[in-house]
Amino acid sequence: SLGIAHTRWATHGIPSEVNAHPHLSDEIAVVHNGIIENHEILRAELQGQGYGFISDTDSEVIAHLIHACYQRAQNLALAVKQAVARLEGAYALAVIHTGSPDELVGTRHGSPLVLGVGIEENFLASDPLALRQVTDRFIYLEEGDVVTLSARGYHITDMDDRPAKRQVVSLSDRADQADKGGYRHYMLKEIYQQPEVLEATLQGRVSNQHVLPEAFGEQAPALLKQVECVHIIACGTSYHAGLVARYWFESWAGIPCQVEVASEYRYRTVVVPDNTLFVSISQSGETADTLAALKAARQQGYLASLTICNVANSSLVRESDLALMTQAGPEIGVASTKAFTTQLVALQLLGITLARYRGKLSGAKERELVEALHQLPALCQQVLALDARIEHTFESFADKHHALFLGRGVQYPIALEGALKLKEISYIHAEAYPSGELKHGPLALVDADMPVIAVAPNDDLLEKLKSNLHEVQARGGRLYVFADAAAGFHSQDGVTVLEIPHVPPSVEAIIYTLPLQLLAYHVAVLKGTDVDQPRNLAKSVTVE
C-alpha cells in the first residue's frame, strides 16, 4: 500500500479544502513543502498548454508540470527531474502515479526531506520526528537528490543524476518522548522537562569545572583560539537566545558580538571583520532563513561557521564547520521552551570557551560560571514550584487584549521572549521594551487596562528598574513583578510581586525565562486556545 499526505502551512492561497494537498494532474499526485518563486510564469505557460487550475497554490503548478514532462518521458523519476529543473525556489516533493501504484518519488531543494528506512516499508517526511513511531533509521537527503522508493527498497540519485549512497543514521531518542507523558499539553511537559534537559546539555561538555572545547568539534580548539568577533544569526526564539548571548560574549570575553535576524541578514551589505565566527541558532536545524543566511555567509569571508542546534544530522549541522548539540530531546509544542533554555546553556559554554582563549577568564572565574550552570536543575525546580501561584495570579489576563513586558540589560531579551510566548499561544498582543525606553513612547500606552510585567533580578540595574516601574505606578498601570527575593519588592495596591529564589547572576536570564513560560501557558489555557499548535504557526519554519 502507498499514500501521500501533507499538513499544509499556507503560503499561497488561504487554508481551504481546494488548496489542500495532494494536488492532482490526471494520474499524477503531488505533495509539496516550500515556495515556488516562478509559479506565475509557469502557471501562464501551462494554461497556454491547456492545463486548468482549481487552486490558488504554487504547488498545483508542480503537479501539472510533472504531468507535462511525464507525457514525454513516460518515467516518473525522469519526469520529476525534468520538472524540478524548471522550478525556482524551495521544495520538498513526494510524487505518485496511478500507473506505478507501488512507487513513490521524492526530491528536495532548499526544504528538508528525510527517508525513513523500515522493514519491508519505507517513508518520506520533512522531519524525522514525524516517523519516530515507525522507525529509528533515517537518511537525510541532500540538495538535488531524487529518491525512488517502494516497500521493498529505495534508489537515490544525486543532482548530477549519478547513483548516490547516503548514510543511514540511527536516532537514539525514544519514541515515547513524543508522548505527552500525562501532562495536559506538550508545552507544559516541555516546561517541566527543563531541569533534566539542561543537565543533559552539560553532560560531556564540562570536566573538573572547565568547559571542553572539543565539544564543539575536532577543529574547535584551533579555530576558536582565532576568534576576534562573533556574528549570531537566528529567527524567533533562537534570535532572543542570541541577544542574551551577546551580553555574555562581550562581558566575559571582551569580544564584539553582532546579532541578526536571519531573514534580514541576507539582504544587506554585511561587514565581516577578520577572524569573525558565524554562529547560527536553530531548534530544528532546518529553518529556511537561517540556512539561507549560512549559505550567503560562505561568500563573506568568515573564519568558520558554528551552529547551536537540537537535531543531529539536520541541514545546519551538516553544513556548518562546528556544532554543539543541545540535548532538549523532541520539542513538539510550537512555542519553544526547553529548546530555548538549552540554547542559552550551549551559548554560555561557547562564551566561556572564547573568554578563556582570549585570556579574559581566570580559572577561578570559569569554575564559578560552570558551578552556576550545574546549579540550574535545582534552581529550575524551585521556580517550577511556583506554578500554582503563577496560574492563580494571572487568571485575570484571560480578559486582557494587550500586555507590556519590561527588562533591563540581559533581562531585556528575556522580556522579548516572554512577550513572544504570550502572543504566540494566547493571541494577546504583547510588546517588550527595555524599561529605560518607557518615557520614549511606550508610557503613552500605560493605563489601568494595560498590564505591565517586569523581570527584576537583584543586579546592578535594579535601582534604575525600580525608578522605571514607579513611572508605571504613577500612571495607574497594573504591575506584575518577577523579583529576586532580596530585591526589596513588596506587593501593594496595583503591584503584584512573585518572588524568585536568589540565583547566581550568570544564570539569571535562564531562570527568569521559566515563570514567563508558565504565565503564557496558563493564560492560553484559560482563553481556550490551541496551546501546542497555535493558529497560523508551524514548529519547523522551512519556508522563507
**Chain segment 86-117, per-residue pLDDT in tens:** 999 889 999 999 988 889 999 999 888 999 99
Task: Write down the pLDDT at residue 112.
Answer: 87
> Which has the higher per-residue pLDDT, 138 or 130?
138
Among 413-422, 431-440, 479-488, the range of highest mean pLDDT: 413-422
Task: Write down the pLDDT at residue 465.
Answer: 73
What are the residue boundaries of the structural domains of the chain, listed by start? 17-170, 186-527
**pTM score > 0.95 for this model?**
no
Q: 3-state DSSP: the chain helix, strand, coil percent, rounded to 5?
A: 40, 20, 40
pLDDT in tens, 23-68: 999 999 999 988 899 999 999 999 999 999 988 888 999 999 999 9
Least confident among 123-132, 206-215, 300-309: 123-132
CA distances (Å), origin 462, targets 39, 376, 411? 55, 22, 11
Q: Is 490 a residue whose pLDDT tops 90?
A: no
Mean pLDDT within 506-527: 97
d(CA 142, CA 113): 8
Query: Would you give the DSSP letter of residue 144?
Result: T
Task: Write down the pLDDT at residue 178.
Answer: 65
d(CA 209, CA 370): 6
Average pLDDT, the chain: 91
> Which has the higher per-residue pLDDT, 443 or 273?
273
Grid coordinates 505518485 are at which residue? 96
> What are the grid coordinates assigned to 310, written together?
537540537
Tally of CB atoms within 10 A around 476:
12
> What are the grid coordinates assigned to 285, written together?
536545524
- Domain 17-170 coded CATH 3.60.20.10: yes
Mean pLDDT within 414-423: 98
| Amino acid present at 155 | H
d(CA 231, CA 256): 9
Task: Write down the pLDDT at residue 245.
Answer: 98
pLDDT in tens, 239-261: 999 999 999 999 999 999 999 99
Helices (H) and strands (E) in the chain, counts: 17, 22
Cis peptide before 413 (omega within 30 of 0): no
User: What's the pLDDT band for 475 if we cut at 50, 70, 90?
Assistant: confident
Could you give the percent of the chain with pLDDT greater than 90? 70
Task: Write down the pLDDT at residue 541.
Answer: 61
Q: How far is CA 501 from the centre of its chain?
A: 29
Q: Is 226 a residue whose pLDDT tops 90?
A: yes
d(CA 335, CA 425): 7
Task: Write down the pLDDT at residue 524.
Answer: 97
Q: How far apart are the first and last CA of the chain?
A: 34
Task: Write down the pLDDT at residue 8.
Answer: 56
User: What's the pLDDT band for 12 if we cut at 50, 70, 90?
Assistant: low
**186-527 matches 17-170 in CATH topology:** no
- State the CATH class of domain 186-527: alpha beta
